[in-house]
Amino acid sequence: MTPVQAQVRTTVLSESQKIEDFIPFYTDDRPESRLLPVVDVAAAIAEDRRTGNPDSRFGIKSSVSFRETDGVFYKTPEQPTVWKLVLHSPGATSLNFVMENLHLPPGSEMYLSAPAGFMVMGPILSEHVFEGIFASDLIWGESVEFTVIFPPALKEEFSIHLTEAVHGYADRASRGFGDSGWCTVDVNCPQGVGWEMERDAVSLILSGGNELCSGTLINNACQDLRSFYLTAFHCIDSNLDSVLSGKELGKLNSWVMRFNYDSPNPTPPTCRGSEPTTWLSYSGAQFRAGWANSDFALLELNGSILNQTSLALVGWDRRDIAPVGGTGIHHPEGDVKKISVDNDTLTIQGWGSNTSAGTTHLRAIWEDGDVEKVSSGSPIFDFNHRAIGQLHGGPPGCQELRGVYGRFFSSWTGGGTNNNRLSNWLGGGNNPNTVNTIRIPRLLPTNAGTLCYGSSQSFTMQNPIPGAVISWQATPASLFATASGNSATAILSPANSLVSGQGTLTFHMGMGNGCNDVVFTRTIWVGKPGMPVTNPLGNPPISIGLGALQTVTITSAPGALYTSGVWWANGSITANPPAAGQAGVFEATSLGTGNFFVQTSNSCGVSPTAGGAMNVTSGGGGMYRIAPNPAREEITVELPDSAPEVTRKILVSGLSGKVLLEIRSVERRIKIPLKALQPGIYLLQVLDAETVFTSKIAVNP
């Protein structure tokens, strides 16, 4: 299935937004925070002053080691398994991390958030993780809460190892914003009108505790939406020896490329605006080619850019000409995106001692804006909106107002081999002189919903690739009245009133010239739901003690919402209370055998009935022994010897559901004090990552 979101969104919440609207199954439950290593901020500031490079570093990197065993698993009857870890670094203005051995099971989601609930990054999905490595963007504040949500049956597949933490020490959480010189111009000022696609291709690069450089997504001749990314060679070559070592290349996996970091509202007279409240981050990239002579590096970002209409791929011109005019788009000093404009013919020159005789670079003299540190690697465009180079360097900001760019023409053939030239990666079958900028396509709607007999639904390819041949197919064909077409819109309806099942819609955009098709897919449910699956199944029958409660959860509901389940029972068990939702709770009311049942539904109708059996025996409590019951002073929950040694949460609540007591313990005999409770009937729950046990208890006068 085509990923709907390959980048990870970071959002700063407004006063009207709630964290639970961004993190599903959000709970205030959280473990005690774990402390990160103490850092010496004064020494770091002194080092910045000594090295003369205080502008781009925002934090101090420390080696850490936190794994899944350092967090806590939570589970309630209505929710999947939730894992949490809270890390704290006193005095930090921001925190960001590198994770290794990160495995997110299918259907799981990870979020990083400020415990105060004002900022969240996520969801982070398995497709965002490359070779087990993921680098996060910044979360403001001195604490970060990690939340991972996944199906209970896949808990054992989850793993994580946090290996690096960066303690932000800048004067404010978002160092970089507002730090560029007075002469820079926000990209959303009037000078940026007409440059919106190019703007959306450019990003800021973060590496560890540094705002490192800028770069841009770049198109190729096949226009196959590969996530090629152009930046400067020296951004990788940290020791500036013109050779990329394995250690330098290894750092690419922990780079973070932050897109859409643009001020949304620059206003006169300064045309400066506020910091954005949302942006997209990409974690990691792979090296494809680079050449120190023209200072280019071509990377490929980890993951897909399909369906991301807030991004674009810039075009380019590889011809040996002196462009008339140039426009640079970049992140000076790590600030929000800026634009610089030269209306005159650019100068062809060399770099270093070969400035006058060389031809590997272009020089721009700005009429509007300027470039500064961290602008390195950003693109310069000609008047046709095609990239013609990437920034190598220039004088300190707001002084001489110029920038020198490695020429795209020189980089095209580079050093003559595939790992030091652009032509092998961007040329395609016909090796054109120019390629245009394109907006990333998207298949709408992003969520297909359910297709019922007598209705139809349209699916449209937004921003199709110019010049592509479009076709679509719906499979299996037996589900659909029309199963293929050759337009940017597919209109689907069920073949008849009896069909039911999951279908797939696939759009192909073909460019020819030996290029691979670009493929978008969408899964669609047709007709009534399929039979739900429960845990436990009830086959073989479930053993339950007289008076105990048994929770049964829907684990799979094809074609239906989990919350649409309707439960009922007969025989020796009753639904307690009669339930509609993902989980049903059944009470053992008499000795013998009982049966539970569940159906799901969608807009097309009701599913077949699923269910199972329960055998009710004496000695209430099932696998847990509860005694004495009734009681007054205290009650003991005793686990069998086979029960795993994990932290369990014991809740005592009123019949209304309000929790009155909560205890956490790893012991097999857990004593629950009852003195604070009034006489009456209560519910006792024992929760761990695998099971939820519920029983009624009585408190005597």
Name the region of 288 (left: φ>0; alpha: ψ -120 to 50; beta: rest). Answer: alpha
DSSP 158: -
| Cross-strand partners of 61 | 166
Residue 551 C-beta-side C-alpha neighbours within 13 Å: 21
Give residues with Cβ within 8 angstroms of 337, minimum separation 6: 186, 187, 199, 202, 204, 261, 262, 263, 329, 330, 331
Catalytic residue numbers read 234, 295, 376
Instruction: Give the tokens for residue 35.
Output: 């402390």
Residues 547 and 549: their CA atoms lie apart, in Å, by: 7
Q: Which residues contact 37 (CB under 8 A, 6 or more apart)?
A: 62, 63, 64, 165
Residue 673, preceding bond cis, omega within 30 degrees?
Answer: no
The residues near 620 (Cβ < 8 Å, ≥ 6 apart) are: 545, 546, 547, 548, 588, 626, 629, 695
Distance between CA atoms of residues 99 and 104, nearest Å: 12
Phi–psi pair at 38, nearest 5 degrees: -70, 135
Separation between Cα atoms, residue 565 and residue 535, nearest integer Å:
13
H or E element, residue 425: helix 423-426
Sign of the alpha-carbon dihedral angle for 340, 202, 257, 188: positive
| Amino acid symbol at 367 | E
Buried b (16+ CB within 10 A) or exposed e, 562-578: bebbbbbbeebbbbbee
- In sequence order, what E strands does 237-385 have? 255-259, 278-283, 285-291, 296-301, 312-313, 315-317, 324-330, 338-345, 347-349, 361-365, 379-381
Q: What is the radius of gyration, based on Cα positions, of the chain?
A: 30
In angstroms, rounded to a whole number, what is the distance separating the alpha carbons of residues 227 and 229? 6
Q: Reduced to 3 states, what is the DSSP secondary structure of residue 154? A: helix
Helical ranges in 219-365 per DSSP H: 233-236, 246-250
Q: How far is CA 183 from the centre of its chain?
A: 35
Peptide bond into 578 cis (omega under 30): no
Cβ-based burial of 678 (10 A; exposed 0-12, middle 13-18, buried ≥19): exposed
